[in-house]
Amino acid sequence: MELLSLGQTILIFVAALFILVFVHELGHFLAAKAFGMRVEKFSIGFPPKILGFTRGETEYSIGATPLGGFVKVSGMLDESMDSEALDSEPQPWEYRSRPVWQRMVVITAGVIFNMILAALIYIGVAFSTGETMIPAASVEGIYVEEGSLAYDLGFRTDDRLVAVNGQEVEDFQAFLSPSALSASQVSYDVIRNGERITLAMPSDFLDELSERPEFITADMALPSMIGAVSPGSPADNAGLRPGDRIVDLNGNPVTYWAQLVEEISQTEGSFELVVEREGDQVTLQGAKESTSDPLGINLMDMSQMFDIERRQYSVGEAVVAGVGLTGETTTTILQGLRQLFTGQVSVRNNLGGPIAIASVAKQATDSAGWIGFWNITAFLSITLAIMNMLPIPVLDGGHFIFLLYEAITRREPSLTVKMWAQQIGFYILIAVMIFAFSNDILRLLG
Q: pLDDT tens digits, residue range 339-359?
A: 777 776 666 666 766 666 766
List all residues 6 or more positions away from 352 whose beta carbon is below 8 Å from its beta carbon.
360, 436, 439, 440, 443
pLDDT tens digits along 82-130: 556 666 777 889 998 999 999 999 999 999 999 999 999 999 999 998 8
Strand order in the sheet with 269-277: 252-253, 245-249, 269-277, 280-288
432-435: long-range contacts, CB 8 A cutoff, minimum separation 24: 432/351, 433/353, 435/347, 435/351
pLDDT tens digits along 181-191: 777 789 999 99
Q: Please name each of the domains of the chain with its CATH number.
A: 3-129+376-445 (no CATH), 131-221 (2.30.42.10), 223-300 (2.30.42.10)
Q: Quickly state the pLDDT bin for 291 (edges 50, 70, 90).
A: low
DSSP-assigned states of every residue in 183-202 = SSS-EEEEEETTEEEEEEPP
Indicate the range of 10-19, 106-115, 194-203 predicted with least confidence. 10-19
What's residue 301's pLDDT? 77
What's residue 345's pLDDT? 67
What's residue 387's pLDDT? 92
**Higher model confidence: residue 366 or residue 339?**
339
What's residue 201's pLDDT? 92
Residue range 30-44: mean pLDDT, rounded: 95
What's residue 81's pLDDT? 46
**Residue among 79, 50, 52, 54 at smallest CA distance from 65:** 50
Indicate the range of 177-181, 187-191, 220-224, 319-323 predicted with least confidence. 177-181
Indicate the range of 70-84, 246-260, 385-399 predicted with least confidence. 70-84
pLDDT-above-90 percentage for the chain = 47
Q: Quickly state the pLDDT bin for 135 (edges 50, 70, 90).
A: confident
What's residue 362's pLDDT? 67
Q: Is the predicted pLDDT of residue 76 greater than 90, yes or no?
A: no
What residues are paired with 256 via a beta bridge?
A: 223
What's residue 149's pLDDT? 92
Indicate the range of 45-54, 252-261, 356-365 predicted with least confidence. 356-365
Query: pTM of the predicted model, to two decimals?
Result: 0.76
Q: What is the mean pLDDT of the chain?
A: 86
Indicate the range of 76-85, 253-262, 384-393 predicted with least confidence. 76-85
What's residue 173's pLDDT? 83
% helix, strand, coil for the chain, step of 5 = 50, 20, 30
Q: How far, in Å, CA of 422 to CA of 433, rounded? A: 16
Residues 350 and 340 sit within 8 Å (Cβ to Cβ): yes
Q: Quickly state the pLDDT bin for 439 (edges 50, 70, 90).
A: confident
Residue range 259-274: mean pLDDT, rounded: 87
List all residues 6 or more positions away from 410 whose beta carbon is below 8 Å from its beta carbon.
none
Q: How far, in Å, CA of 60 to CA of 70, rounded? A: 10
What's residue 2's pLDDT? 41
What's residue 403's pLDDT? 95
Distances (CA, A) of 204 to 186, 201, 339, 344, 418: 10, 8, 11, 7, 39
Residue range 272-301: mean pLDDT, rounded: 85
pLDDT tens digits along 141-198: 999 999 999 999 999 999 999 999 999 988 888 888 877 877 778 999 999 999 999 9
Q: Is the predicted pLDDT of residue 422 greater than 90, yes or no?
A: no
Q: Is the predicted pLDDT of residue 430 greater than 50, yes or no?
A: yes
What's residue 79's pLDDT? 56
Q: Is the predicted pLDDT of residue 1 greater than 50, yes or no?
A: no
Q: Quickly state the pLDDT bin for 368 (edges 50, 70, 90).
A: low
**Higher model confidence: residue 180 or residue 70?**
70
